[in-house]
């Protein structure tokens, strides 16, 4: 095989994060008697994505992100003041039970293991939360290693998180390919560290960074074709 190890992201790569965020917001608002709107969800999504980009750049810690995640936007739409960390904790109590898989995940993980690949997870997130969601989704057992930014103390795409990851398994970067949806955190992170990647662009986002993944796919059936043909350049033709 051309590669021996596949690293996968969690949020919006294995698990349907958009669905989980929606369900968690609905539960949060219901518990407080607030009215949720499409406008709120749209603005929250854009605001939250911006916070995660700042996290990736090292401008925020995870705790700082959680602290500022809700107060301003809830005051704007609901007219109430909330404690940032308490509200984030409640939101995550719902979020950490969300485990809806994206289509084709289980079949692809099973197929990759049958081919002999070692599978691992590298995620910007909390260790307990991500492990718990993978267990609830019934896929934790496919992975030989699960590393999060909380455990490593640094976020993707920083090189230090990849140092931490590769120090904990028996494979090197030249034996590894990263499969993820994050153009900055996953694809640029892998490329800057010197190993291959596949961009899982199922949300059909614009390519805004000068990165060079081996392939760009928008579904797991395409990923399986790449595995079947051992990453041959013509795999998707």
Q: Where are the domains of the chain?
A: 5-16+101-228, 17-95
Q: Under 8 Å CB-to-CB from 105, ≥6 apart: which residues?
A: 14, 137, 139, 220
Please report the pLDDT score of residue 25 as a whole number: 98
Whether pLDDT at 57 is above 90: no
N-term to C-term CA, the chain: 20
Interior angle at CA 233, CA 231 and CA 237, nearest 5: 105
- The position carrying tokens 């107060």 is 71
- H/E stretch holding 142 reads none
Rounded Cα distance between 117 and 83, Å, is: 45
- For the segment 72-98, the average pLDDT, to the nearest whole number, is 97
- 121-171 residue pLDDT tens: 999 999 999 999 999 999 999 999 999 999 999 999 999 999 999 999 999
Do the domains spanning 5-16+101-228 and 17-95 agree at the CATH topology level? Answer: no
- Characterize the bridge pairing of strands 5-8 and 215-217: unpaired
Residue pair 217/197 in contact (Cβ under 8 Å)? The answer is no
- Please provide residue 7's backbone torsions phi and psi, each rounded to the nearest 5 degrees: -95, 135
Q: Calculate what percentage of the chain has a pLDDT beyond 90.
A: 96
- For the segment 79-87, the average pLDDT, to the nearest whole number, is 97
Residue pair 180/155 in contact (Cβ under 8 Å)? The answer is no
Question: Taking the mean position of all CA atoms in its chain, how far away is CA 117?
Answer: 20
Rounded Cα distance between 25 and 135, Å, is: 22
What's the token pair of residue 132? 């718990």
Please report the pLDDT score of residue 58 as a whole number: 87
- For the segment 60-67, the average pLDDT, to the nearest whole number, is 93
Please report the pLDDT score of residue 108 as a whole number: 99
Minimal CA–CA distance to 179: which of 171, 165, 189? 189
Please report the pLDDT score of residue 191 as a whole number: 98
- H/E stretch holding 166 reads helix 159-166
Q: Under 8 Å CB-to-CB from 132, ≥6 apart: which residues?
A: 96, 97
CATH assignment, 17-95: 1.10.150.240
Give the 3-state secondary structure of residue 26: helix
Rounded Cα distance between 152 and 61, Å, is: 13
CA distances from 97 to 17, 100, 198 (A): 12, 9, 28
CATH topology of domain 5-16+101-228: Rossmann fold (3.40.50)
- 175-202 residue pLDDT tens: 999 999 999 999 999 999 999 999 999 9
């Amino acid at each position: 095989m051309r590669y021996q190890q596949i690293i996968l992201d969690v949020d919006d790569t294995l698990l349907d994060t958009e669905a989980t965020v929606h369900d968690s917001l609905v539960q949060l608002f219901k518990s407080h008697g607030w009215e949720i709107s499409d406008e709120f969800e749209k603005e929250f999504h854009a605001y939250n994505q911006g916070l995660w980009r700042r996290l990736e750049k090292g401008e925020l810690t995870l705790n700082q992100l959680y602290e500022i995640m809700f107060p301003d936007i809830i005051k704007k739409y609901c007219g109430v003041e909330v404690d940032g960390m308490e509200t984030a904790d409640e939101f995550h109590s719902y979020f950490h039970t969300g485990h809806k898989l994206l289509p084709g995940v289980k079949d692809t993980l099973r197929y990759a293991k049958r081919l002999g690949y070692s599978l691992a997870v590298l995620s910007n997130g909390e260790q307990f939360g991500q492990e718990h969601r993978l267990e609830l989704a019934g896929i934790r057992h496919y992975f030989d290693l699960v590393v999060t930014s909380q455990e490593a103390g640094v976020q993707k795409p920083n090189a230090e998180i990849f140092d931490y990851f590769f120090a904990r398994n028996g494979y090197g970067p030249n034996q590894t390919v990263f499969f993820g949806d994050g153009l900055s955190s996953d694809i640029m992170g892998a490329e800057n560290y010197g190993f291959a990647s596949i961009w899982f662009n199922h949300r059909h986002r614009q390519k805004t960074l000068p990165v060079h993944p081996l392939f760009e796919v928008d579904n797991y059936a395409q990923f399986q074709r790449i595995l079947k043909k051992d990453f041959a350049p013509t795999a998707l033709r």
